[in-house]
Amino acid sequence: MKIKITSDSTCDLSPELLRENNISITPLHINKNGESFRDGVDIVPADIFAHVAAGGEICSTSAVSLWEYEEAFKKNLEGYDALVHISIGSGFSVTHHNACIVAENMPNVRVIDSRNLSTGQGQVVLEACRLAKTATDLDEMKAALDEFACRVDMSFLLDRLDYMVKGGRCSLVSALGANILKLKPCIEVVDNKMIVGKKYRGNYAKCMEHYVLDRLENQEDILPECIFIVNTPVSQEVHETVRR
């Protein structure tokens, strides 16, 4: 069985990985200053960072529409027996729901709820690529991916809370308090939602060092080849600290 793997732009996989694994991407929409842009096509993260840094409002996202999914699935099925699409977690966007609605009328399409976002979603995409090489039953492959998605460990450490304040996820008072105390909160993805985990205190590079050690400690089922290090622009010191 020849299976095509697709995902949303929210999986944050590098162009190299997308190319190597022949993964096709359906972009979500980024809304900036009343205009809509296709994520990764008309706008990239650097554009958003620059916009907000210049005093602009935080950008919002819009889901992939039913029509866009129908067109994408039909196009990507050309030359394939089946298609498996890994969506951003259903707890973060109605994008997953839209993909499921379209797939209901396409018997050779399966939609996987990654239960995650960013490279947490990307991990499920790459596992789908691995399984697709030998899969002979779509439902068995979906069951394996549903189980794998529950085991993905995704988290990140915030240096500043500016974006959280602008996005309405944190009050200005809380942000000021965290900045004064030099607190760096860890945000974890658990059960299809983001929660605040451990809070670190001090220099960001030093906090990152402790954060990485905490994430790896007593984790006997870690697959070293599946570890992702993902970041917004950070100093070389932070890069080196994490990679050590």
End-to-end CA distance of the chain: 42
Give the number of other CB atoms < 10 A from CB of residue 171. 12
The pairing of beta strand 3-8 with beta strand 82-87: parallel
- pLDDT score, position 241: 75
- pLDDT score, position 175: 45
Residue 180, phi then psi, degrees to nearest 5: -65, -40
Give the number of other CB atoms < 10 A from CB of residue 168. 8
Helix residue spans in 78-198 (DSSP H): 95-103, 118-132, 138-149, 162-166, 172-180
Half-sphere exposure of 202 (CA within 13 A, CB side): 8
- pLDDT score, position 214: 87
Count, residues in the chain = 244
Q: Which helix (H) or strand (E) holds 69?
A: helix 66-77
Q: What is the pTM of this model?
A: 0.86
- pLDDT score, position 134: 96
Distance (Å, whole) CA 184 – CA 186: 7
The edge-to-edge listing of strands for the beta sheet with 3-8 is: 24-26, 3-8, 82-87, 109-113
> Which positions of the chain have pLDDT values less than 50?
165, 170-173, 175-178, 180-181
